[in-house]
A and B are shown apart, each in its own frame.
Chain A
Amino acid sequence: MSDNWVEVCAEDDIDEEDVIRFDHAGRTFAVYRSPDAAFFATDGLCTHEKIHLADGLVMDDIIECPKHNGRFSYKTGEAMGAPVCVNLKTYPVKVEDGSVFISI
């Protein structure tokens, strides 16, 4: 596992059961806060048609793509069925001193 930790935002910048987009070094990520206030991160683009997932809807531990409703578990990256069949890459997340970091 890489230990290249990058600061994303303050903890409170992401609502519970929500997601934000995070761009860094030419890459784009989606960073989530689950209903039980844990943080997760995945690649930012849907594996179906390169749509930013951060415009999508978080429901429990699922992120739904805003375009074609492809669904993934943002905790595991697992694709949940048509039209998405390729899993999302996930990244480790930590919270320190009120800030969210992802390891990329």
Chain B
Amino acid sequence: MSHFVIVGAGECGARAAWALREKGFDGAITLIGEETLPPYERPPLSKAAIGEALEPKFVAERNRYAEEHIDLMTGVSVDALDVATKQLSLSDGSVLAYDKLLLATGARARAFPGVPRDSRSIRMLRTHADATALRAAMLPGKHIAIIGGGFIGLELAATARMLGAHVTVVEGLERVLKRGVPLDIADAVTARHRLEGVDVRCGVTIASLTDDAGKATVRLTDGDVLAVDLALVGIGAMPNTELAERAGLRIENGIAVDERLRTSAPDVYAAGDCCSFPLHLYGGRRVRLESWRNAQEQGSLAATNMLGGDQTISAVPWFWSDQYDMSLQIAGLSDGAVHHLRRDLGNNAFILFHLDADGRLLAASGIGPGNAVARDIRLAEMLIASGAHPDPDALVSPGVKLKSLLAA
């Protein structure tokens, strides 16, 4: 019987396992995760898992894996991969042989240099256990410094503020959300945080970050010192490539895969946050995405190709962030855009369309209360996927349904 092994039991690995069964694979599947919990969804961790003490939202209950003959191994890590003998050495001492292997090892939170991993006053967020610990610390009146004005930092700022903590966000660049979010939208996000009472400081970096007997001291390069109950570090994520690297696989800002998610080793695939891949839609440029939908879609695509399919990556990058009652959504990659057109939807909701010099739609980004921008962003995503050159006048006119441009 054929044996497919998936290393990494996050969104991507779990979706791959389920997709293999849904696509009719009747061989053995082993899904290996380092955490003790069965695979769960990570998006709530910065939000409801803390704010509302939400229990883990499992991709599937543990017993469902057994029912589908998916061997879910939790609390186990993979120490070594030998692509010549097609074997894995696990932390529990066992050796597993595979016919096909998927590396869905994900990413980990980037640590601040010199901070002990077990510090209680300087923390990061990656797992449900991290979120539970943060909930215990985000109490009304507590002072919290957030290092990094990216999505995780800002979502945590909103959550902490809603729980009644005093929050300062420190971003080293001149504005928040510098990576991938246009200025107008970053400004709207910053304005909202300030309205909620968050102290947002940009263009200032951290001189030192120390754990002082249960408190944290953040010294800024402008000379200011923040003495806080908790410092949260949200300065990006690093792909977990070590296993692949030691096995001799090609690494390029992640485990390098082709557009069918194949690594440089035979019968070894990689998907999700851990891999970089060529994006045909954007001239084949190599990207690595850290997003829930990408993890899910690539897990499914890897399953297809592991079963002998020949599917290539065609999805438009898409992600969202929820802060307070606002949601922002971005579809596509706006690098290289020269025209930025704005469509106002009312109620403080707006969308920016990013077009290249030829008028091709590269990306769309929007923000608004609830899911006000969701439908138009979804339609924009379809326009982007089709390589459309939409009429600029139609894009900026809220009265013109974007759906009508799809058929055009």
- A residues at B contact (CB < 8 Å): 15, 17, 51-52, 55-57, 64, 66-69, 81-83
Contacts and interface: CB of A to CB of B under 8 A. Distances in A.
A57 B370 contact: no
A52 B403 contact: no
B378 A66 contact: yes
A52 B371 contact: yes
Interface residues of B, number: 19
Looking at chain B's contact residues, is the secondary structure mostly helix, strand, loop, or mixed?
helix
Contacts, number: 37
B246 interface: no
Given A57-B378, A67-B320, A69-B293, A51 B15 contact: no
Contacts of B19: 82
Nearest to B293: A69
B296 interface: yes
Given A17-B403, A57-B379, A67-B320, A82 B296 contact: yes
Interface string B10-50: 00000100110010000000000000000001000000000
A17 to B, nearest CB: 7
B300 interface: yes
Nearest to B18: A82
Contacts of A52: 370-371
Nearest to A81: B22
A41 to B, nearest CB: 19
Given A17-B403, A82-B300, A66 B293 contact: no
A10 B296 CA distance: 40
16 contacts: A52-B370, A52-B371, A55-B370, A55-B371, A55-B372, A55-B374, A55-B375, A56-B374, A56-B378, A57-B379, A66-B374, A66-B375, A67-B374, A82-B18, A82-B19, A82-B296
